Structures are given as C-alpha cells and as structure tokens.
Structure 1
Amino acid sequence: MKSFLGKRAVTSAISLVGLIILVFFLSRLTGDPTDLYLPENATQEARDQFRAIHGLDQHILIQFGKYVTDLVQLDFGMSIRRAEPAIDAVLRGFEWTLWLAFITMTLVTVCAIVVGSLAAFHVGGIFDRVATFFSLIGASAPDFWIAIVAIVVFSVYLGWVPTSGTGTVAHWILPIAVLFIRPFGLILQVVRGSMISTLSAAYIKTARAKGVRNRPIIFVHALRNALLPVITVIGDQAAGLLNGAVIVETIFGFPGVGKLMIDSILQRDFTVVLAAIFVTALAIFVMNILIDILYAVLDPRIRY
C-alpha cells in the first residue's frame, strides 16, 4: 500500500512540475503586460521601469529560474493587477470554488447512487428508462450551453433566480444546477451498470430467498460491492468539477478560482495564472490519492 501511494505521489509530482513548466512558457505567449497596463503614449523609460519592477526585463530563462527558486520557498510573487501576493488572491477564489464543488459533488453522489440503484433494481421498467434517458442527455450536453439556456429561461424570462453573484442562496442555484447535470448522468450510469451486475450475484439471490427486504438488499448487501468502480468515477468527476468550474464561474460571474484564472489570462497577470494552476493541480492530485486510499479501504485486495 505504501509503495503504491509512493509511486502515485512521485507520478503526481512529475506531472505537476511538467505542468508548471508548460504554463510558464505558454503564458508568456499572451503578450507583454506593459502594453496592457501602460497608456499608448507612455515613454520608453516608463516601459523599461515597469518591466524592471515586475522582472520582465530579464531573459525568459532567467525569469523561469527565479520563479522556480521562489516557488521552492512557496513565494508565488506579486499580482500585477491587484498589487498583492498572488497566492492570496488565488486562495480567496479557490475557497469559493471548493465550496461550489463540494456542495455540487455531495448532491451528485447521493442522488446518483440512490437513483442508479433503484434503476438497476427495476431494470427495464419505466423508472429505469426515464432515469437512463435523462442521464444520457445530461452526460452529453455541454456545460456552457446548459448555463446559457438556464440563464435565458430561469433568469431572463421567469425571473426566478439572479444571473450572477453570490449574495444569497438564490445566487448559488444555477451554478450548482449546471455543474450537477453532467457528473450526475455519468455516475448514475456507472452505478446502474455496477448494481445490475451485483444484484445478479449468488449471495443476493440467497438474501432474497431468506426473505430479506428490498431496501437492505439494495443499500446494504449490494451497494458496498457495487461502489468500487463508482468511486473512481466519482473521483474523476470531482476533479473535473474543479476544471469545469472555469466556464461556469465565468458565465455566472462566480468569484471562484476559475473566473480568476480567466480574468488573469486576459489581464496578463502571469503570477496569478501560475499560482491558480499550481493550487488547482495540487488539489486534484491530492484528491486522486485520497480516492486511491478509499478504494483500498473498500477493497482489501488492493492493499496487497
């Protein structure tokens, strides 16, 4: 078990280093921040001074070396746009994204397991067909399209919920609903398939022959064994929420790390972009390792 987790940690660290290198050099292709933050009639002296203040006057390899040296010391640099440490801005946004992903994923997991289990128990019935139909549509529809349609219908025409912001509970409804649809459809299908296979096992037939009620059969006897493949999908979808939230947060004006990342790219705020990528990637890697540990707890064979 320790060896397995050690290998995963090393692999994740290598991937993180590669991502940092890639993002650092690609972010520089967006242009010179000097052209964005200084007026067109700024003197060359002012431009040179701006570049020197933000370390942009040095060769790109020297800039990268300094960035790596600072990163080892957990110094992510100062935000050009906000004049504050980049990590402070990222952590504020990441807290919003984490809450959004946590609430959404909790609802998705509970609903998908319950609906998927019931659909498997009534396989071929009306409930199963309806659940499968809507789950396939939800898993296929792109988030940005659902978000735009949701705003037009529920905010513009019906006026039930706000279009953006986080001031009240109503502001959270549309972002959570949009992020809910895709992972719910995917996880439901995996739960349904896994439960159908598990419910046909011999020990389930024995439990039924002994007169055990349907609810304990589904949610006690069958669900534990059926959850093993589901956990992996839940972990992937949870990580996908952190990435997918970029589009949804931007559309709904949600002040999470996704919107911060997009704004910083447009503003050429390199330090914030790199800090946001680092924190998000680190969270995803940690989440994947936790999923591996949970998988091993549920299936003792993996420990060996």
Structure 2
Amino acid sequence: MLDFIIKRLLQVILVVFLALTAVFFLIRLSGDPTALFLPPDAPREQIEEYRELLGFNRPLQDQYADFMVNAVQGDFGESLRSQEDALQLVIDRLPATFQLAIAALILSLVIAIPLGVLSAYKRNSFFDRIGVGLTVLGQAVPNFWLGLILIFFFAAQLKLLPTGGGGTLVHLILPTITLATYSIARFTRFTRSSMLDILRKDYIRTAKASGVPTFPLVARFALKNSLIPIITLIALDLGTLLGGAVITEVVFAWPGIGRLLMQSLMNRDFPIVLAAVFIIALIYAIINFIADILYAYVNPQIRVK
C-alpha cells in the first residue's frame, strides 16, 4: 500500500509540474505584457527599462528556471497590475470557487441519484425515456450558453434573480444550476447504469421473489451496493467542477478563481495566471489522489496496477 501511495504522490507532483510548464510557455505566446502597463506614447527606452525591471528581456529558458525555483518555494511573484502577491490573490478567491463547486455537487446528487434510481427501476418506461433524453441534453448543452439563457429568462425578463455577482445565496442560484447541469446528467446516467447492473443480481431477484417491499428492496439492497462506484465518481467530479467553474464564473461575474484567471489572461498578468493554474492543478490532482487511495483501500486489486 505504501508503494502505491508513493507512486500516486509522484504522479500528483508530475501533473502539477507539467501543467505549470505548459502554461508558462503558452502564455508567453500571447506577447509581451509591458505595453499594457505603459502609456501608448511611452518612449522605447522606457519600455526597455520596464522589460528589464520585470525580467522579460532575459532568455526564456532563464525565466522558466527562475520561475520553477521560486514556485517550489511558493513564490509566484507579484501581480503586474496591482503589485500584490499573486498566490495570495488567488487563495483569497478560493472560498468563492469552492462554494460554487460544492453547491453544484450537492444539487447534482440531490437530483441525479433519485432520478437515476427511478429510471433504472422503471427501465424502458416513458419515465425512463424522458430521463435518458434529459441526460443526453444535459451533457450536450454548453455551460456558457445555458448560463446566458438563464440570465435572459430569470434575470432580464422575469427579474426574479440577479444577473451576476456574489455575496448572497440568491446570487448563487443561477451559477449553481448552470454548473451542475452537466454533472446532473452524468450522475444520472452513471447511477442508472450501476443500478441496472445491481438489479440483475441473483440476491435482488431472490429478495423480490420473497416479497420484500419495493422501497426497502431498492433503497436498502440495490442502491446501497450501487453507491460504491458512484462515490469514486463524486470525488473525481468535484475536481471537474472546480476546473469547469471558470466559464460559469465569467458568465455570472462570480468572484472566484475562474473569473480572476480570465481577467489576468486578458491583462497578461502572468504571475496570477500561473498561481491560479497551480492552485487548480494541485486541487484537481489531490482530489484524484485521495480518490485513488480510497478506491485502493476498498479494492486491493487496484494497488498492483
């Protein structure tokens, strides 16, 4: 088990390292940010002095080496625009992103698990066909489009909810629905598939033939055993929600990491972009790491892979 944990931990480090490396070189393709922080008529000498001050006049490989050395120590530099610590700015936005992701996860589970169970129990019925259709639709609709539609109807037309922003539970409703839609469809499909597999087992047929009532049969025997793979999916989906919250936060002006990341990309504020990617990649990798460890604990055969 210890070897398995060490192997997965090394994978976490590798994932974060590769994510930072890829983003470091990709954002450099967007161009030199110095022109955005100086007046349009700034003389060439002033631009060169500013580039030297920020270190952008040095060879790219030297900039990368210095960045990695500092990143290992938790130093991502200061924001080019606000002159504040980049990592601290990202960490300050982390609670808002977690709030949105966890709210979306809870909503997904509350809707998807009962819907998946009923769809499996009433297989090939009209209810099942409707559920499968909604599942396909939920996975096909882009988040940004759904968010704009919800804003149009519930904020612009009906004026029931705010168009964006944060701070109250009311502001959380539309972003949560938008972010949760894909997960609801995914969980429903997975729950239905898992339940169908369990309902075919001999002990379920035996219990049904013995006269066990429908609710205890489904809730106590079938659902309980089908939740094991679903729990693994929940851990993985939380990381997906955190990463997928970027677009939703932009659409609804939600004050989380995603919106900060997009603003920093537009402003070419490289330190904040890299700090945000580090936090997102680290959280995603750690969640997957914990899921792998728990799954290996439940199923020892996984440890040899």
TM-score where L is the length of structure 1: 0.94
Residue in 1 aligned with 2:171? 171
* CA offset digits 1:16-64 (Å, max 9, x no partner): 2122111111111111111101011112332233223322232221111
3-state secondary structure, aligned to 2:254: coil
- Residue type of the partner of 1:287? I
Residue in 1 aligned with 2:9? 9
Question: Quick one: distance in 2 between partners of 1:134 and 1:9?
Answer: 38
After TM superposition, the structure 1 = structure 2 runs for residues 80-119 of structure 1, keeping only pairs within 5 Å, are 80-119=80-119
Question: Quick one: distance in 1 between partners of 2:86 and 2:246?
Answer: 18
Residue in 2 aligned with 1:245? 245
Q: CA deviation at 1:109?
A: 2.1
Gaps of 5+ in 2: none
3-state secondary structure, aligned to 1:160: coil
Question: Quick one: distance in 1 between partners of 2:30 and 2:116?
Answer: 45
Question: Quick one: distance in 2 between partners of 1:291 and 1:149?
Answer: 35
3-state secondary structure, aligned to 1:159: coil
After TM superposition, the structure 1 = structure 2 runs for residues 21-60 of structure 1, keeping only pairs within 5 Å, are 21-60=21-60
Question: Quick one: distance in 2 between partners of 1:293 and 1:221?
Answer: 26
Tell me if structure 2 keeps the 8 A contact 1:112–1:188: yes
Question: Quick one: distance in 2 between partners of 1:111 and 1:289?
Answer: 27
* CA offset digits 1:197-244 (Å, max 9, x no partner): 101101112222333332222222222332333334333432221221
Q: CA deviation at 1:127?
A: 2.6
In structure 2, the CA distance between the partners of 1:302 and 1:218, relative to structure 1 (3 Å rule), is farther
Tell me if structure 1 keeps the 8 A contact 2:15–2:285: no
Count of equivalent residues: 304
Question: Quick one: distance in 2 between partners of 1:303 and 1:62?
Answer: 40
- Residue type of the partner of 2:219? F
* CA offset digits 1:68-109 (Å, max 9, x no partner): 111121111111112110011111122211111011112212
Which one is further off, 20-29 or 5-14?
5-14
Gaps of 5+ in 1: none
Question: Quick one: distance in 1 between partners of 2:124 and 2:187?
Answer: 19
Residue in 1 aligned with 2:258? 258
Question: Quick one: distance in 1 between partners of 2:129 and 2:166?
Answer: 37
TM-score where L is the length of structure 2: 0.93
Question: Quick one: distance in 1 between partners of 2:300 and 2:225?
Answer: 12
- Residue type of the partner of 1:283? I
In structure 2, the CA distance between the partners of 1:225 and 1:298, relative to structure 1 (3 Å rule), is farther
Residue in 1 aligned with 2:225? 225
After TM superposition, the structure 1 = structure 2 runs for residues 140-159 of structure 1, keeping only pairs within 5 Å, are 140-159=140-159
Structure 1 runs (4+) greater than 3 angstroms displaced:
296-304
Which one is further off, 150-159 or 290-299?
290-299
Question: Quick one: distance in 2 between partners of 1:202 and 1:79?
Answer: 62
Residue in 1 aligned with 2:19? 19
Residue in 2 aligned with 1:278? 278
Aligned-pair identity (%): 38
Residue in 2 aligned with 1:293? 293
Indicate the RMSD between aligned Cα atoms, in angstroms. Answer: 1.8
